[in-house]
Chains A and B, each alone.
Chain A
Amino acid sequence: MAHEIRIDPKFLAEFIQINKNIIDAPKLAESLEEINLEMTPYEVVYSEGKVRLLHFSPLVSKQVKTPLVIAYALINRFHILDIHPKKSWIRNLLGQGIDLYLIDWGTPTQIDQHQGFDDYVNGFMDNCIDFAIKESSSDKVSLQGYCTGGTLSTVYASLHPDKIKNLILTAPVIDGRRDSTVVANLAKHIDVDKMVETIGNMPPEFMYYVFSILKPFEQGYEKYLNFFKNIHNKDYVENFIRVEKWLTDTPPIPGELFRQWIKDVYQENLLINNKMYVGGKQVSLKNISMPLITQVAVGDHLVSPECSMPIHYAVSSEDKTLRIYATGHVGMIASSFSQQKVLPELSQWIKERSEK
């Protein structure tokens, strides 16, 4: 019995087109190795080991005296905050006249495996913030922490409240028990002691695995199909390659820091319960009394809003703001949406609370 197979000519045309696009792709897109993620000029004003404090060159005249220090996350590098001129968090804040510093944690190696929260918070962060205070002739700084940088910033603000004028927490990891993401699910079941004792630092491969289980079909197939479909769209291709490069640049996390982060935040949930100790001192969230803004994204599949929001209720600040945005973890900091909605609200909030 003969079967007739009918194929839509449009489907065939699309199939042929995508194949052509795949062949053309190397001519139209740069390879990850060829691109440089450094966008906005900066100066390394302080360094300690592998940690660097970057001071970004102003784009307009300074409108507030209090500098803003950004503590980037421990996962991947800071380049996502400056990924594309039209989507750059850094460029936007500089354009608002904000004096901007950023802590780049660098790429730890085995020699750094014993560095923990104490070294990061009371060592690197404290020294960077002291430097920014001195260089800007201010009394205090505004501190922004993104993702795990939000956890570090929370601990810092609790232990050194006298140096922080305003605290900005963007998708911070705070209440591990309430975190409903797959990341938290895995973190709760990892034998972190064995991992650190056996291999030292948290290896990037482990993070790549975690990334691979976050929306594997959307991110695994659809994303790359769309890339080839849009290969003639220069802006799309440039942004895609830059984000991919950022995604594959994952430094290890120092073993001791990783151990404390997983145990104290995810497994034993000590931070939100004011039971975490860093450098022998108790981290009480009640010590945080400066103005606080917490930014969370409803579509965040790395740090769920339920994990971040409890900080808003745990601090003793009277001036506190909670902003919930209809976007995702990266969308909140590197998208057209963040340029139009998140950043204008943030820069206004900072300006209203900073020394002029």
Chain B
Amino acid sequence: MKISICPEYVIILPPMAVSKDLKKSLGDYKHASLFWTDLLYLISSRPQSLTATGPFRKLGVNAKKLSTETIEMNEDMTEFNSRLSSYYKQLSDTWTEAQKEYNRKVPEIPNDTEHLEASKRIWIDIFENYFTKLFDSPEFAENFGKLVTSELEIAKHWNNMASTLLESANMPTKKDMDEVYKELHYLRKRIAKLEKIVNKGGM
């Protein structure tokens, strides 16, 4: 663990990449969870179906999906946290370096308007340069890309869980709506093509 201090806040940063040990223990946890979820589901599915009525019957059948999504989401959360920590580390390290540079250039606190204005300009220029260099770097973009990807993985699990609940209530899911949108898009294109043919006066 490393403690990094920046002017506005203190963050405790975990190691940057998910270690092999952690990955293994997560894998073991996932296996054990799924094993027991499956087994408990098999044991309880008949009584669950027997006692559930209306929309709950479908939810009873689909309940396993919810726990599987939760387990997988937890796994993705570790990747997300790791990427998020790297992201904040990049920001805080850059801030610290820029602040050091500013302290070197402006060693004394300005106490008149002209000096204050000049030192503010220097502060902005230094911070802008340091941060632009960071945002321009492949390391930043690579980590940011992976951060967004892990965020999307989590969102995907949310979508899947929401779909399970919607399905159990006999309501359209995101997948159902996507199919409708796709069909509509296809129909619009066909109509536009036909309109063009008609406007040109024949086939």
Contact = CB atoms under 8 A, between A and B. Distances in A.
Interface of A: 5-8, 10-11, 14, 49, 110-111, 113-115, 119, 123, 127, 180, 182, 185-186, 188-191, 194-195, 198-200, 213, 215-218, 221-222
B152 A114 contact: no
B149 A222 contact: no
Given A123-B192, A215-B132, A221-B124, A186 B111 contact: no
Interface in B150-197: 152-153, 155-156, 159, 177-178, 181-182, 184-185, 188-189, 192
A111 B184 contact: yes
B116 interface: yes
A222 B152 contact: no
B5 interface: no
A195 B135 contact: no
Contacts of B112: 8, 10-11
A182 to B, nearest CB: 4
A189 B145 contact: yes
A39 B111 CA distance: 46
Contacts of B182: 114
Contacts of B192: 123, 127
Contacts of A113: 178, 181
A330 B170 CA distance: 50
A8 B113 contact: yes
B41 interface: no
A195 B135 CA distance: 21
B138 interface: yes
Given A11-B111, A217-B131, A186 B124 contact: no
Interface in B101-118: 111-113, 116
A110 B181 contact: yes
B149 A216 contact: no
13 contacts: A111-B184, A113-B178, A185-B135, A185-B140, A188-B141, A190-B145, A191-B148, A198-B156, A217-B124, A217-B131, A218-B128, A221-B124, A222-B124
B8 interface: no
A115 B136 CA distance: 31
B152 A194 contact: yes
Given A10-B113, A14-B113, A189-B144, A213 B177 contact: no
A111 B184 CA distance: 8
Q: Which 3 A-B pairs have the closest CB atoms?
A: A189-B145, A8-B112, A114-B185
Contacts of B80: none
Contacts of A10: 112-113
Given A111-B184, A186-B144, A217 B156 contact: no
B153 to A, nearest CB: 8
Contacts of A8: 111-113, 116
B111 A6 contact: yes
B21 interface: no
Max count, chain B CB within 10 A of own CB: residue among A8, A14, A217: A217
B101 to A, nearest CB: 13
Interface string B118-132: 000001100110011
Contact of A216 (B131, B138, B153): B131
Nearest to A5: B111
B30 to A, nearest CB: 21
Contacts of A200: 178
